[in-house]
Amino acid sequence: MHTSTPPPTCFITVDLRATGRRDACGAFSRGRVRRAAAGVAFLAMICGGAMARQDDPAPAGEAAATNEPAPEQRVGPIRQMLNDLHRALGGRKPQQPAAGDRVSDAADADAPFQLLPPSGHLFRDWFGLLPSLEEKGVTPSISFVTNLAGNPTGGLRQGFTHADNLDMDFVFDFEKILGLKGASFVVDMSQRSGSSLTRDYIGNVFNVQQVFGGSTFRLVDCAWQQQLFDDTAEFRVGRIAAGDDFLVSEYDYLFMQNAFDGNPVAVFFNSPGMTAYPNATWGFLGKVKLLDKRMYIMGGVYNGDPGIRANAYNGVNFSMNGPLFAMGEVGYCLNGQKGDGGLTGNYKVGFWYDNSVYTNFTTGTTTTGNWGFYGLFDQEVFALGDRSSQRGIGVFGSLLVSPNQSISTMPWFFTAGVAARGLFEARPEDVAGFGVVFGSFSNDLQAAQRQAQLLNPSVGVQTNETVLELTYRINLDHASVFIQPDIQYIFRPGGTGQIDNALVLGAQIGINF
3-class secondary-structure state, position 65: coil
Contact between residue 203 and residue 156 where contact means Cβ atoms under 8 Å apart: yes
Contact between residue 422 and residue 391 where contact means Cβ atoms under 8 Å apart: yes
**DSSP alpha helix (H) spans, 161-238:** 174-177, 197
- 4 Cβ contact list (under 8 Å, min separation 6): 10, 12, 268, 269, 272, 274, 276, 306
Cβ atoms within 10 Å, residue 483: 22
Please list the ranges in the chain whose pLDDT falls under 50.
Answer: 1-22, 28-72, 99-100, 104-106
Cβ atoms within 10 Å, residue 100: 9
Inter-axis angle of helices 77-89 and 40-55, nearest 10: 90
Phi, psi of 424 (to 5 degrees): -105, 130
- 159 Cβ contact list (under 8 Å, min separation 6): 150, 151, 197, 200, 201
d(CA 231, CA 444): 46
Mean confidence (pLDDT) of the chain = 86
Could you tell me whether strands 500-512 and 481-491 are parallel, antiparallel, or unpaired per DSSP bridges? Answer: antiparallel
- 70 Cβ contact list (under 8 Å, min separation 6): none
d(CA 511, CA 163): 15
Beta bridge partners of 170: 140, 187
Domains, the chain, in order of start with CATH, read: 16-55+75-512 (2.40.160.180)
Contact between residue 501 and residue 491 where contact means Cβ atoms under 8 Å apart: yes
pTM for the predicted model, two decimal places: 0.84
- Predicted pLDDT of residue 384: 94
**DSSP alpha helix (H) spans, 385-442:** none
- Predicted pLDDT of residue 57: 39
Contact between residue 115 and residue 431 where contact means Cβ atoms under 8 Å apart: yes
d(CA 143, CA 216): 16
3-class secondary-structure state, position 330: strand
Phi, psi of 165 (to 5 degrees): -140, 120
Contact between residue 392 and residue 383 where contact means Cβ atoms under 8 Å apart: yes
Element (H, E) at 451: helix 443-455
Cβ atoms within 10 Å, residue 69: 6
- Predicted pLDDT of residue 79: 67
- Predicted pLDDT of residue 105: 46
Phi, psi of 347 (to 5 degrees): -130, 130
d(CA 320, CA 330): 28
Per the document, the length of the chain is 513
Contact between residue 137 and residue 143 where contact means Cβ atoms under 8 Å apart: no
| Triad 508, 374, 210: Cα angle to 5° | 15
- Predicted pLDDT of residue 67: 46
- Predicted pLDDT of residue 92: 67
- 394 Cβ contact list (under 8 Å, min separation 6): 113, 115, 251, 345, 378, 379, 380, 381, 418, 419, 420
Phi, psi of 363 (to 5 degrees): -100, -20
Could you tell me whether strands 464-476 and 217-228 are parallel, antiparallel, or unpaired per DSSP bridges? Answer: unpaired
- DSSP string across 226-275: EEETTTTEEEEEEEE-GGGTSS--GGGGG-SSTTTSSS-THHHHH-TT--
CA separation, residue 307 to residues 187, 315, 492 (Å)? 22, 11, 31
d(CA 195, CA 91): 34
The number of C-alpha atoms within 13 Å of 313 and in the hemisphere containing its C-beta is: 16
